[in-house]
Amino acid sequence: MSRRNKLSKFADILAYNNVYENYDPKDPKLIKSEDLEVNLKTKWSSDHFGNSNPITLELACGKGDYALALAKAYPERNFIGVDIKGARIWRGATTAIEEEINNVAFLRTRIEQINLFYAPEEIDEIWITFPDPFLDDNSINRRLTSPNFLVKYQEILKKGGIMHLKTDSRPLYDYTLEALAAFDDATILYQNDDIYASELAYPELVHKTFYEYQHLANGLTSKYIRFTIN
């Protein structure tokens, strides 16, 4: 992607009313539309969505494929896609505006900071969809299901809130099962290392991301873990 194209997309999302950004990891300030500072902690449903519906996060959302699909399938819920890549968020946010999908928003920030922008028990459900598996042993702590991330999710997730991992990576799938087994408050509700080999256990698994379509075309299988961490 050319630098000009990226800059154009960054300018677009500055004007979008469905995108919030954190520019500086050292300053947990949230910006919306032309540098307007906002504080949505405890108030995402009321102040952005204008309702009291439950909130689902899609972490490492990329272009927001899953958040958008779920938002269309479940209009009675609110969805927020979270990613650090502005150009990818632009695609999801643009689609939401064009298709008038008003129950989805996007947060551009590092997932390491996720608990800075949501209050304890503000989130009802979390999806992690085809994240970078960080296969290098030196990058284990960057895996989105590592214990240092799980404690952050635990803080913002409501009691009994469901978490989902959908991945094509066998190492990440196996690592997550091990991490959850060692995590005191974790309960694995369901696991499957080839979800399309038989009838889907849950209807929301039918949705596929851009990357999942690519991986399936290359002969990889989609793996899924459903769990709680409180």
Residue 27: per-residue pLDDT? 84
Asked whether residue 4 carries a pLDDT value surpassing 70, the answer given is: no
Residue 29 included in any domain: no
Q: Is 132 a catalytic residue?
A: yes
Instruction: Work out the mean pLDDT of the chain and round it to a whole number.
Output: 93
Nearest Cα residue to 158 out of 129, 189, 119: 119
* C-alpha span between 193 and 176 (Å, rounded): 12
Residue 75: per-residue pLDDT? 97
CATH code, domain with 47: 3.40.50.150
pLDDT-derived band at 2 (thresholds 50, 70, 90) equals: low
pLDDT-derived band at 3 (thresholds 50, 70, 90) equals: low
Tell me the residue range of the domain where 172 lies: 3-22+34-228
Least confidently predicted of 3-7, 19-23, 38-42, 100-104: 3-7
Residue 28 included in any domain: no
- Choice among 47, 132, 174, 185 that is catalytic: 132
Residue 92 included in any domain: yes
Asked whether residue 1 carries a pLDDT value surpassing 60, the answer given is: no
pLDDT-derived band at 9 (thresholds 50, 70, 90) equals: confident
Residue 129: per-residue pLDDT? 95
pLDDT-derived band at 28 (thresholds 50, 70, 90) equals: confident
Residue 27 included in any domain: no
Residue 25's Cβ-side half-sphere holds a number of Cα atoms within 13 Å equal to: 5
Please report, for residues 58, 59, 78, 146, 188, the alpha-carbon distance to residue 151 in angstroms, rounded to integers and kept in the order given: 17, 15, 23, 9, 16
User: What's the number of domains the chain is made of?
Assistant: 1
Contact between residue 64 and residue 96 where contact means Cβ atoms under 8 Å apart: yes
DSSP lists the bridge partners of residue 167 as: 223
